[in-house]
Amino acid sequence: MSLPNTLMRSDLRLPGVAEVYHGKVRDVYHLKDGRTLLVATDRISAFDVVLPRGIPHKGQVLSQLSWHMLQATAHIAPNWAIASPDPNVVVGHRCTTVKVEMVVRGYLAGHAWRTYNEGKRVLCGATMPDGLKENDSFPTPLITPSTKADEGHDEDITPEEILKRGLCTPAEWDTMCRYALALFAEGSRIAKERGLILVDTKYEFGRTADGRILLIDEVHTPDSSRYFHLEGYAERQAKGERQKQLSKEFVREWLIANHFMGKEGQQVPAMDDAFVQSVTTRYVELFEKITGERFVPAETGDINGRVQRTLEAYLR
């Protein structure tokens, strides 16, 4: 059975568009009236490299899960979202992106673990205590920021370097830290209700024309977050077993096992239909687990055409 069509790149012809930007995963259409249309494609990236095959329904999962979470956390931090007129689209207030990704880590996993395992105890200016095992929780969540690269790799950075480079003001940094930790606490609470642990995540913020800081982009999705299954977590830690997780990490692990980490000269391994389908299954599982709602796939015959028609009607 053939896989559904995917949206690898949108090509929308809409009234009032002032600027178009194609990111790693999302296509961004800035309107002259101050709104932004964020189209979640089915592209998937790992190690800051866009992989050659799209993942069916991934854009819809990301867009709808992010919209769900933006609504669920709007009382915690003001965000950019206005509407979601299509399963792959969120419309919001245009912001100038603060070139800092606010990575919040509650557990020693992923990049933090790889750094820790090398014997280092400081990551992006945050101190990690001695005596921890992989996937242990930190005493309190850590903020380990990275630069927000327009292309290529994001880089670890310290708060001091952020301010030194003028990437944001001290007041903006304080605001982003406060919002990020509050969002992580709320995301952790929501996850726990659904039988999950929010391990780590990243938040992006933007400035409005009048200087306000808003949460932008996606929130608590499998692209931006790592989740463990809560049931059996403590037992697996005690036995030194791998944790059951719902995130994009399994894609990274598959790439590493196939000798790819985004380094120069490395070739992206071939992704067969079975692997692509398994990625879709994982994304849908997380959507249903975190929202408690059944995922209803949108029509995929002509995804770009569907989005075009929907947005034409919305913008009238």
Q: Which residue has tokens 């933090």?
A: 112
| The pLDDT of residue 153 | 61
The predicted model scores a pTM of 0.89
Per-residue pLDDT of 254-281, as tens digits, reads 999 999 998 888 999 999 999 999 999 9
Longest dimension (CA), the chain: 60
CATH 3.30.470.20 domain position(s) in the chain:
96-247
pLDDT tens for 189-212 read 999 999 999 999 999 999 998 999
Residues of each domain in the chain carrying CATH 3.30.200.20: 17-94+272-315
Average model confidence (pLDDT) across the chain: 94
User: Which of the four pLDDT bands, split at 50, 70 and 90, describes residue 285?
Assistant: confident
Q: State the fold for domain 17-94+272-315.
A: Phosphorylase Kinase; domain 1 (3.30.200)
Of 20, 24, 1, 4, nearest to 12 by C-alpha is: 20
Model confidence at 186, pLDDT cuts 50, 70, 90, reads very high
User: Which of 102, 78, 31, 100 shows the shortest CA–CA distance to 211?
Assistant: 78
Backbone angles phi, psi at 91, to 5 degrees: -110, 135
**Mean of the pLDDT values across residues 73-95?**
97
Q: Look up the CATH superfamily of 96-247.
A: ATP-grasp fold, B domain (3.30.470.20)
Residue 12 in this model has a pLDDT that exceeds 90: yes
